[in-house]
């Protein structure tokens, strides 16, 4: 599903150079639920962003569904992000002045779907995360757990094959975190490939496979 | 897709009422100023009642005589005789009228004094200008030949002098400066800003005190030369100039000898600007340059403001852009989104400006600030202003949006 080869990522600022990822080779198979762990600043987010085409590696190749991404232009990258990938972020990243429903609809805006099915797809997705009674609310009116469920609804609304979750439970208490984890597991049972960054060993244990990073290098 | 863009744009505008207000304020203020100003310029220089043929008229307003040492200059309107000899006789013109600028007189209603502007004209005046006669008719060549004491008055004066509006006044007597005239016609008045047509009372030039028989070149008269078509202007000007060139020099006026003689026949705007700047070519360029500069500033400053507002607004929306891109928005779509947003707000601003302008113009027209003011919105000007705003809106939206769309998504999401 996702194949990373010899990935290296260097951040250059005027004064310093950070080697965030060093020679990463990783293969995520279809239907897998993989967790990534490691201390803060070891490059987990960077890795996830490269998998999700939000960032480019300094070296190495990314393959998605057998497609080599390297030479792709913005339009093609956008299409892949839109069709194949759903993101979940630690800090939710909802657009604050859009309603829950409008937030969930975002991925569908960039497909040639019309208004009516778009809304019903979004409502279906919200139902899956148990938030169908909050469609007209704004993110500010929701708890952290509810926000993350909206974010999950947004990630799954377009039926992507892959979900990339960057510390989805990091800002939530353990109860809420468990709920989110349950949803993710259900999605995975239904066939969605999931890669999740987490700090929580218990969460990681519930996944198929664990990848450990240390200082930009894969140690497990 | 476009309706979707507009829907999002509308939401964005509602989401940021403060920015929306600032932006709309800038745009509508600019457009309002621009439209009122151009409407006013159009009122001054455009072709309007009763000078509905101004666009194909040439104006002869001054005669300038200069002595050989160029120390003494004598400048002003001309004598009736001079204009009869050199203007009225123009073969290339369709028609020529000779008239005075304004003279002021007094009339009395009981013991109340009415200040009047009076004008002496020939019969062709009524054929060159297109006055609307509410009552009666203009005086003709016969009235002039008979030296009839007749007058055409405006509806305003009719109201002031005769009071009643319903009763016809043609044939009634009006006394001005102790001379009795018979009212022969009533016209809808001309705005005071149109000095060639404006007056309260019009007399045939053979009426008393017109001084039409004065000799010499200088006097109180000017001429309007009507061309069949604008394209005849050069021909007419050439014919007129050649007549002037044949006047033997030096000329003598009031005992002074003048070796240089200059009279111009010019379109209205040129004549007007020439009067202000005294015919100096360089000054004319500077004058139009300054006008263009002011116009540019009027539009440029709000445009810069617009760019600023847009830049800060887009920076604020960096994370939103990151999110949209993460979920599959192509750069092109985001660019269009911003462009549509800007065009959308520009149109709203334009609509507000149109409303404001209509209100202001209505106010000017009805306030009596300018009698018979008839300001209108020039639709060409409106279209051009909208276009200019669109261009600015585009630039101000595209530049920052382009910067943002180039931004790395991971980076944008961190902000
Ligand atoms: N935009 C950036 N510019 C410079 N350095 C960065 C940037 N993003 C991340 N880094 C650095 O790269 C390393 C890995 O970051 P990150 O992937 O966010 O770590 P993690 O998610 O594991 O906490 C860190 O040292 C971080 O400081
Ligand atoms: Mg991280």
> Are B240 and B344 members of one domain?
no
Q: Does A20 contact ligand 1 (Cβ within 6 A)?
A: yes
Residue-wise pLDDT for A72-125, tens only, equals 888 899 999 999 999 999 999 999 888 999 999 999 989 876 656 889 999 999
Q: Whose CA is nearest to atom 11 of ligand 1?
A: A20
The pLDDT score that the predictor gives to residue B85 is 94
The pLDDT score that the predictor gives to residue B80 is 95
Inter-chain touch B330–A110, beta carbons under 8 Å: yes
Residue-wise pLDDT for B235-279, tens only, equals 999 999 999 999 988 888 777 888 889 999 999 988 887 776 665
> Are B236 and B368 members of one domain?
no
CB-nearest partner of A110 from B11, B328, B413: B328
Q: Please check whether residue B55 lies inside any domain of the structure.
A: no
Q: Does A214 contact ligand 1 (Cβ within 6 A)?
A: no
> Are B92 and B170 members of one domain?
yes
Intervals of chain B under pLDDT 70: 1, 164-165, 276-281, 302, 405
Kindly list the residues from chain B whose CB atom is less than 8 angstroms away from the CB atom of residue A154.
Answer: 327
> Are B393 and B327 members of one domain?
yes
CB-nearest partner of B330 from A78, A93, A107: A78
Taking 3-state DSSP, the helix, strand and coil percentages for chain A, each rounded to the nearest 5, stand at 40, 25, 35
> Are B321 and B395 members of one domain?
yes
Which residues, in sequence order, are bridge partners of residue A27? A3
> Are B340 and B365 members of one domain?
yes
Residue-wise pLDDT for A121-144, tens only, equals 999 999 989 999 999 999 999 999
Q: Please check whether residue B172 lies inside any domain of the structure.
A: yes
How many independent structural domains does chain B possess? 2
Q: Is A30 helix (H, G, I), strand (E, B) or coil?
A: coil
> Are B189 and B117 members of one domain?
yes
Q: Whose CA is nearest to atom 24 of ligand 1?
A: A41
The pLDDT score that the predictor gives to residue B280 is 63
> Are B120 and B30 members of one domain?
no
Ligand 2 centre distance from Cα of residue A48 (Å)? 9
CA distance B120 to B152: 10
The pLDDT score that the predictor gives to residue A114 is 63
Domain ranges within chain A, ordered by starting residue: 33-53+73-218
Pocket mutation for ligand 1, best pick of B411, B412, B413, B415 (most atoms within 8 Å of C-beta): B411
- Between strands B150-154 and B221-226, the pairing is unpaired
Ligand 2 centre distance from Cα of residue A215 (Å)? 13
Give the mean pLDDT of chain A: 92
Which ligand approaches the C-alpha of residue A170 most closely? 2
> Are B236 and B91 members of one domain?
yes
- Specify the DSSP class assigned to residue A132: G
Q: Please check whether residue B272 lies inside any domain of the structure.
A: no
The label of the residue with tokens 């938030």 reads A131
Q: Please check whether residue B279 lies inside any domain of the structure.
A: no
CA distance A197 to B125: 91
Instruction: Choose the final residue of a domain: B235, B265, B295.
Output: B265
Q: Is CATH 3.40.50.300 the classification given to domain A33-53+73-218? A: yes
**Short-list B123, B283, B262, B311, CA closest to B204:** B123
Q: Does A42 contact ligand 1 (Cβ within 6 A)?
A: yes
The structure's pTM equals 0.71
- Contact yes or no for B233/B267 (Cβ under 8 A): yes
Q: Please check whether residue B129 lies inside any domain of the structure.
A: yes
**Short-list B194, B205, B187, CA closest to B98:** B205
Kindly list the residues from chain B whose CB atom is less than 8 angstroms away from the CB atom of residue A78.
Answer: 325, 328-331, 333
Using pLDDT thresholds of 50, 70 and 90, give the confidence band for residue A146: very high
Q: Please check whether residue B327 lies inside any domain of the structure.
A: yes
Inter-chain touch B330–A95, beta carbons under 8 Å: no
Q: Please check whether residue B217 lies inside any domain of the structure.
A: yes
| Residue B115 backbone class (left: φ over 0; alpha: ψ -120 to 50; beta: rest) | beta
Q: Is A214 helix (H, G, I), strand (E, B) or coil?
A: strand
**Short-list B271, B263, B122, B137, CA closest to B195:** B271
CA distance A90 to A180: 12
Residue-wise pLDDT for B197-217, tens only, equals 999 999 999 999 899 998 889
User: ipTM of the assembly?
Assistant: 0.94
Domain that holds residue B365: 2-48+284-414
The pLDDT score that the predictor gives to residue B230 is 94
């Amino acid at each position: 599903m996702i194949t990373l080869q010899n990935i290296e990522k260097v951040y250059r600022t005027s004064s310093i150079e950070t080697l965030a990822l060093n020679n990463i080779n990783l293969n995520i198979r279809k239907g897998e639920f993989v967790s990534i762990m490691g201390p803060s600043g070891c490059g987990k987010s960077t890795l996830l962003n490269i998998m999700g085409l939000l960032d480019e590696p300094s070296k190495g190749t990314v393959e998605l569904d057998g497609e080599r991404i390297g030479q792709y232009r913005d339009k093609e990258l956008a299409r892949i992000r839109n069709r194949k990938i759903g993101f979940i972020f630690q800090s939710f990243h909802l657009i604050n002045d859009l309603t829950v429903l409008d937030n969930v609809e975002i991925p569908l805006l960039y497909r040639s779907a019309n208004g009516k099915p778009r809304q019903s797809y979004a409502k279906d997705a919200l139902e899956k995360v148990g938030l169908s009674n909050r469609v007209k609310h704004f993110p500010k009116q929701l708890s952290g757990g509810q926000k993350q469920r909206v974010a999950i609804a947004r990630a799954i609304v377009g039926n992507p094959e892959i979900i990339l979750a960057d510390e989805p439970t990091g800002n939530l208490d353990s109860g809420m975190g468990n709920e989110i984890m349950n949803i993710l597991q259900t999605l995975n049972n239904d066939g969605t490939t999931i890669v999740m960054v987490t700090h929580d060993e218990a969460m990681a244990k519930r996944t198929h496979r664990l990848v450990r990073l240390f200082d930009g290098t894969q140690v497990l | 897709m476009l309706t979707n863009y507009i829907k999002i744009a509308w939401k964005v505008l509602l989401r940021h009422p403060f920015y929306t207000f600032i932006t709309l304020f800038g745009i509508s203020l600019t457009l309002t100023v621009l439209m009122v100003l151009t409407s006013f310029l159009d009122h001054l220089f455009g072709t309007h009642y009763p000078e509905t043929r101004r666009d194909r008229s040439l104006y002869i307003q001054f005669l300038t005589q200069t002595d050989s040492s160029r120390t003494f200059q004598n400048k002003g309107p001309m004598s009736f005789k001079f204009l009869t000899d050199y203007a009225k006789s123009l073969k290339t013109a369709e028609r020529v009228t000779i008239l005075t600028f304004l003279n002021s007189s007094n009339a009395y209603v009981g013991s109340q004094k009415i200040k009047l502007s009076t004008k002496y004209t020939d019969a062709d005046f009524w054929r060159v200008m297109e006055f609307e006669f509410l009552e009666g008719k203009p005086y003709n060549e016969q009235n002039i030949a008979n030296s009839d004491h007749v007058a055409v008055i405006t509806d305003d004066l009719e109201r002031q002098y005769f009071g009643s509006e319903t009763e016809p006044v043609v044939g009634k007597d009006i006394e001005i400066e102790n001379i009795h005239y018979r009212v022969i016609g009533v016209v809808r008045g001309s705005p005071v800003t149109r000095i060639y047509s404006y007056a309260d009372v019009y007399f045939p030039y053979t009426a008393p005190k017109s001084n039409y028989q004065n000799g010499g070149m200088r006097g109180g008269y000017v001429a309007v030369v009507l061309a069949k078509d604008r394209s005849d202007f050069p021909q007419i000007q050439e014919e007129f100039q050649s007549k002037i060139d044949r006047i033997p020099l030096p000329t003598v006026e009031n005992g002074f000898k003048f070796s240089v003689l200059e009279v111009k026949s010019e379109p209205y705007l040129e004549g007007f600007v020439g009067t202000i700047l005294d015919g100096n070519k360089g000054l004319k360029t500077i004058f139009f340059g300054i006008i263009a500069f002011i116009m540019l500033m009027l539009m440029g400053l709000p445009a810069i403001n617009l760019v600023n507002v847009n830049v800060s607004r887009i920076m604020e929306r960096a994370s939103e852009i990151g999110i949209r891109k993460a979920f599959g928005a192509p750069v092109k779509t985001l660019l269009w989104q911003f462009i549509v947003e800007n065009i959308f707000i520009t149109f709203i601003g334009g609509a507000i400006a149109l409303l404001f302008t209509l209100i202001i113009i209505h106010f000017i027209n009805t306030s009596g600030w300018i009698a018979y003011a008839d300001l209108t919105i020039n639709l060409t000007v409106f279209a051009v202003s909208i276009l200019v705003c669109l261009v600015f809106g585009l630039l101000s939206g595209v530049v920052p949006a382009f910067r943002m769309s180039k931004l790395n998504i991971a980076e944008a999401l961190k902000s």
